[in-house]
Amino acid sequence: MEPWRDVSLSARERAEALIAAMTLREKVAQLVGVWVGAAADGGEVAPHQHEMEEAVDLAELLPHGIGQLTRPFGSAPVDPGLGALSLQRSQQRIAAANRFGIPALAHEECLAGFAAWGATAYPVPLAWGATFDPELIREMAAAIGRDLRSVGAHQGLAPVLDVVRDARWGRVEETIGEDPYLVGTLATAYVQGLQSAGVVATLKHFAGYSASRAGRNLAPVGMGTRERADVILPPFEMAVREGGARSVMHAYTDTDGVPSAADPELLTGLLRGQWGFAGTVVADYFGIAFLKLLHGVAEDWSDAAALALASGVDVELPTVRTFGQPLLDAVADGRVAEEVVDRALRRVLVQKVELGLLDPDWSPVPPVLAGVTGVDGDAVPGRGAEGSVRGRVDLDPPENRALAERVAERAVVLVRNEGVLPLGPGARRIAVIGPNADTPLAFLGCYAFPVHVGSAHPEVPLGIALPTLLERVREEFPEAEVLSVGGAGGVGGVDGVDGGGGVGGVDGVDGAGGVDGIAAMVELARRADVVVLALGDRAGLFGRGTSGEGCDAESLELPGGQQEVLDAVLDAGTPVVVTLLAGRPYALGRAASGAAAIVQSFFAGEEGARAVAGVLSGRVNPSGRLPVSIPARPGVHPASYLSARLGMASAVSSTDPTPAYGFGHGLSYTEFAWSEVTVEQDTAPTYGEFALSLTVSNTGVRAGTEVVQLYLHDPVASVVQPVQRLIAYRRVPLAPGESAELRLTVPADLASFTGRDGQRIVEAGEVEFRLAASSTDVRQAVRVRLTGPTRVVDHRRRLHAEVRVR
């Protein structure tokens, strides 16, 4: 037996044996992906054509091997069973064509569920943030991982750990929120869930992508090292240390002139040297080529390959360009030492060993096809296999939809309620209007398959059931008369993204010809007892939407003419429930304090409409909390609740960034009472900890969930600090009349920050713990004092407070 197939050896030993036997060209072949699309008839995958790609000759590549297959399911609509068969046949061919029998690693997008035709569309990451529920996100990620693994995929390109710094950025919907602790805990839970199913999780985008200037996609990042260390990096550190993440994707952006793909201090010194990361670093799509094309730090493809490889990028995605012949040329002319190629190859091969791809009993047959007639893992599948697998694989089973609904329900945020919700029997006539009222895609983000890929294939069915808000409200209120208006139009100039453009009667919400549509809605509002006005975004890519990758906003005013719609409906005099189905927060003008109710849902997935309808009826008691602040004015960004004192409202500036509703805010249909906080000791050394306790009681008449949040305020520090930052939280479900005692053990490590010399320190002095229902609703505050010398901490510091509920 070849030593690389000997399972009694360590993964490192097996990889080293294989490296020693490989030619340089065989080595380099393992460092690239090939963008493929699964064949609709179950045949072998074919190179996927993309405007950034050059043609790929598979026949030429195969004898040397292929490192990765890029999105065989996520490039075009294909029946999942036939896609699995196509991938199986391709893996057989790849393994048979190279002399070591090495199969490819297949990766897919999985940001809001497996991005494949017919797969469950879960809520987007910003909705995960609204749940404040790591356990639920871990469960969801495990389900996504099982679906990926069942059809033969090995790696998922998620989660996104970018911390929102400017809500105008189009990819806000892909982030978890504006607080690094919330982002870190939920992203780590996602990593743990996905990898529990045997799928490699990929942390992205490392690091600073969300801090691009003016919220513009790929724009330069101008933040300092302290902001990077204390805001941007902690979620990645947590996911590496506690989640055991096995892959990281570099960011497109440059920080202070240094592109992430060419930053050895980031990708090697920090990630590997300090944090101990041992997995693979993969390129964001075309990111290495961008070193030449966009950043201008590489003269040619060989130069780009040399820069990225030396900095710590191991795999070029999505397809071979710089890590092919240009890298071979760079080795030949001495720009790259072969040992640097071996370093990246070692990481790639160790990962393949760990995935079982080099085991002697490896089979190309995906688990979902095991035992299917005509599918043979040791030979080309027999005639008739296509018929036996078509329609066999269900990637959206009832248990997935039920899980998607639970996540969506916990993500709905009741922002404002002047007593109109839940809608009672008195609401006999409900008007459901607005650009997102009757639009199937209104609950999906830009990386959901029907948007990301399906929009380019309007002739193909969506693949999953996507009920609209209007349909679900009619189901939720069978005794009420639910009114709406027909018509066509678009959100913010995006007309007909769903293939038909039916958007609740707003003709020309983009500002063209909308007078008649608005008048019709106002008339309907006057006839109703209550209005559900569905506003927000339409997800898309690179300007083909109002939210999503490349869909940045100049301000946080509602897209298109929606503010005009909102104001006109408010003037009708009927109570209005403003229902936001969006990928970012928006300023709402006078509705922020004048609407009867505001319900915020961040692209809540395929069951989002049912979740929102459940909140409207009261079947669901809302427990979501804002993962990003809702601005009071549309032009105040960049702004964040993490601002320092001079970033807040002051007499020395004429602009006021105070939000209409702050981070962590959310209402319930029941009431909660908080007791006084007790502190066991009010002093502790800089290496010590504090113990706090309080009791939370449900004083209402129905079950509900309070979200207890702990913030730290450091009034005097050696460098400027944010006014407050989240350091712990806990969801506390309570029955009517029930109470729970929370005991929090808070280590001094949580008061650490990056000092003037670049080291993370815990300083002596007074700090304040704020127990709060949100960043703007502090219920109890206690001051304690840290004593002793300043203490330097590192990646071994404690990251969490211990929270016990009894």
pLDDT band at 499 (very low <50, low <70, confident <90, very high): very low
9-24 average pLDDT score? 98
Judge whether residue 45 has pLDDT over 90: no
Inform me whether the pLDDT recorded for 492 exceeds 80: no
pLDDT band at 486 (very low <50, low <70, confident <90, very high): low
pLDDT given at position 425: 81
Report pLDDT digits (tens) over 90-135. 999 999 999 999 999 999 999 999 999 999 999 999 999 999 999 9
Lowest mean pLDDT across 72-76, 286-290, 377-381, 794-798: 377-381
Average pLDDT over residues 79-89: 95
CA distance 571 to 565: 10
Give the angle 568-572-576 at the CA atoms, nearest 5°: 85
Q: Are 631 and 658 in contact (CB under 8 A)?
A: no
Going from the C-alpha of 102 to that of each of 292, 322, 489, 688, 767, the distances in angstroms are: 31, 22, 52, 51, 56
Structure confidence at residue 427 (pLDDT): 84
Give the per-residue pLDDT at 515. 59
Q: What are the pLDDT digits (tens) for 439-448?
A: 999 999 999 9
287 neighbors 320 (Cβ within 8 angstroms):
no
Q: Return the amino acid letter for 551.
A: C
Per-residue pLDDT reduced to its tens digit, 275-318: 999 999 999 999 999 999 999 999 999 999 999 999 999 999 99
By the 8 A CB rule, do 37 and 75 touch?
A: yes
CA 713, chain centre distance (Å): 28
Residues 774-780 have a mean pLDDT of 97
For the chain, the average pLDDT equals: 93
Give residues with Cβ within 8 angstroms of 747, minimum separation 6. Answer: 688, 689, 798, 801
Answer yes or no: are the C-beta atoms of 754 and 795 closer than 8 Å.
no
Residue 360, C-beta contacts closer than 8 angstroms, at least 6 positions apart: 1, 5, 7
**Position 454 confidence tier, pLDDT thresholds 50, 70, 90:** very high
**Cα dihedral: 421, 426, 429, 433 (round 10):** -10
Question: Rounded distance, CA 392 to CA 521, Å?
Answer: 45
Question: What is the pLDDT at residue 53?
Answer: 66
Q: Quick: pLDDT tens for 518-576.
A: 999 999 999 999 999 999 999 999 999 999 999 999 999 999 999 999 999 999 999 99
pLDDT (average), residues 12-26: 98
| 740: enclosing H helix or E strand | strand 739-747
Q: Which of 596, 137, 700 is nearest to 411 (CA)?
A: 137
Contact yes or no for 436/469 (Cβ under 8 A): yes
Q: Which of 35-44, 160-169, 404-413, 479-488 has the lowest mean pLDDT?
A: 35-44
Summarize the confidence of residues 35-62 as an average pLDDT.
73
Number of separate helices (H) and strands (E) present in the chain: 22, 33
User: What pLDDT score was predicted for residue 557?
Assistant: 97
Q: Tell me, what's the pLDDT at 37?
A: 73
CA distances from 312 to 261, 299, 347, 609, 651 (A): 8, 19, 11, 44, 47
Query: pTM of this prediction?
Result: 0.95
pLDDT(338) > 50: yes
Closest to 83 measured CA to CA, from 378, 395, 373, 338? 395
Summarised one tens digit per residue, pLDDT across range 65-77 is: 999 999 999 999 9
Q: What are phi and psi of 220, to 5 degrees?
A: -60, 155
Mean pLDDT of the 672-680 span: 94
CB within 8 A of 59, min separation 6: which ones? none
- Determine the Cα–Cα distance for residues 18 and 345; give it in Å rounded to an integer: 10
Identity (one letter) of the amino acid at 548? Answer: G
How would residue 384 be classed by pLDDT, with cut points 50, 70 and 90? Answer: low
Task: Tell me the pLDDT band of 758, cut-offs 50, 70 and 90.
Answer: very high
**Mode of pairing for the β-strands spanning 490-491 and 481-483:** unpaired
Give the type of residue at 1. M
Neighbours of 146 (CB within 10 A): 18
Q: What is d(CA 557, CA 494) in angstroms, rounded to the nearest whole number?
A: 16
Q: Are 772 and 779 in contact (CB under 8 A)?
A: yes
pLDDT at 649 over 50: yes
Where residue 371 falls among pLDDT bands split at 50, 70, 90?
confident
Q: Is the pLDDT of residue 60 over 60?
A: yes
At 583 the pLDDT is 98
Candidates 462, 434, 458, 437; CA nearest to 448 is 462
Nearby residues of 478 by Cβ (< 8 Å), 6 or more positions away:
none
Inter-CA distances, 451 with 263, 487, 510, 612, Å: 33, 22, 20, 21
**pLDDT of 517:** 86
What are phi and psi for residue 410, nearest 5 degrees?
A: -75, -15
- pLDDT at 510 (0 to 100): 42
At 129-165, the pLDDT tens digits run 999 999 999 999 999 999 999 999 999 999 999 999 9
Query: What is the helix (H) or strand (E) element at residue 494, kind and residue range?
Result: strand 494-495
pLDDT attached to residue 212? 95
> What's the pLDDT score for residue 124?
98
Reduce the DSSP state of residue 78 to 3 states and report it: coil
Rounded average pLDDT over 370-392: 66
* CA separation for the pair 340, 344 (Å, rounded): 7
Q: pLDDT category, 798, cuts 50, 70, 90?
A: very high
Separation of alpha carbons 597 and 667, rounded Å: 11
User: How many Cβ atoms sit within 10 Å of the Cβ of residue 304?
Assistant: 29
